[in-house]
Structure 1
């Protein structure tokens, strides 16, 4: 290892298994994903962590994906008191009441069609872009939508893993 590891990644590499599992649960609520990522420790850099995360995500079953999605609130309704949820959905913060109502209706239609929340990597997206994506994705087949959700979760996990890896101080 020639490059210095980010502080959070170094701590993650050496954390007790229960502590590391808890940290990963904050990234993604799928136990299968977390177990696969834990099994590859220690990581020599963020790229290796991303690679393990991506591989774990690509191998998740439909049940594992459902478990991962269960950890995400509806777009436009971040978990109260959860700064991660609020930060990721920042694009909805200034949305009009009309846009919020429209997205709520789309969320409900999506959930009725697919049986789970509409999931999108919302970081950096405006409310309008999230609405347009929800509208467009309602026409997908369940199989196509499952793969889109897998790709969106992969992006979300990478953003959250970067924060974990760069975190200063005690991760527990």
Structure 2
């Protein structure tokens, strides 16, 4: 969708277009309320600024829709489609890396009670595994800002993909 078409959408249609980027009502409403945007960069800057800070409740609500890293997202919705595209660049990890990701995902979920989230786009499976292992050493207080930043990066990348320049 082009920016001018996004600017002309009704509020509900615009919310529906933005929501798969990050299912956080306050953020979706801020991005939609900022219209009309003169440039895609202005839209993306609003999206970045509106994501700071996200609360733990907002983060956990948004993460309820995210698949585990290394698992193929299921379903036909826009969010699942975005996740499939983002993880496609990982390729097929070796069986050792796949097993380590699965074990790391379980350990992360046991420790933090949420899925491990990382911007997969542009990263290899080995890079993601290294980040996962490093983040397992975090406390909850250290991890929340990292998760929030990863979610923000994902949301902005998705929005950029939806609203072509």
1:43 aligned residue: 37
1:96 corresponds to 2:89: no
1:114 corresponds to 2:112: yes
1:24 corresponds to 2:22: no
| Structure-1-length-normalised TM-score | 0.87
* Paired residues of 2:90 and 2:120 also in contact (CA < 8 A): no
* Paired residues of 1:9 and 1:164 also in contact (CA < 8 A): no
- Aligned residue for 1:121, secondary structure, equals coil
- Aligned residue for 1:58, secondary structure, equals coil
- Give the CA deviation at 1:60: 2.0
1:56 corresponds to 2:50: yes
**How many residues are matched?**
161
- Give the CA deviation at 1:22: 0.8
* Paired residues of 2:51 and 2:152 also in contact (CA < 8 A): yes
Q: Within 5 Å, which residues of 2 pair with 1:151-166?
A: 151-166=149-164
1:141 aligned residue: 139
- Aligned residue for 2:65, secondary structure, equals coil
- Give the CA deviation at 1:83: 3.3
Q: Within 5 Å, which residues of 2 pair with 1:80-91?
A: 80-81=74-75, 82-91=80-89
| Structure-2-length-normalised TM-score | 0.90
**Mapped partners of 2:26, 2:103: distance in 1:** 32
Structure 2 residue runs of 5 or longer lacking an equivalent are none
CA deviations on 1:94-144 (whole Å, 9 max, x unpaired) are 211221111011011101111111000000111110001000000111122
Could you tell me which of 69, 72, 78 is aligned with 2:63? 69
* Paired residues of 2:3 and 2:39 also in contact (CA < 8 A): yes
Q: CA RMSD in A?
A: 1.5
**Mapped partners of 1:28, 1:78: distance in 2:** 19
- Give the CA deviation at 1:87: 1.6
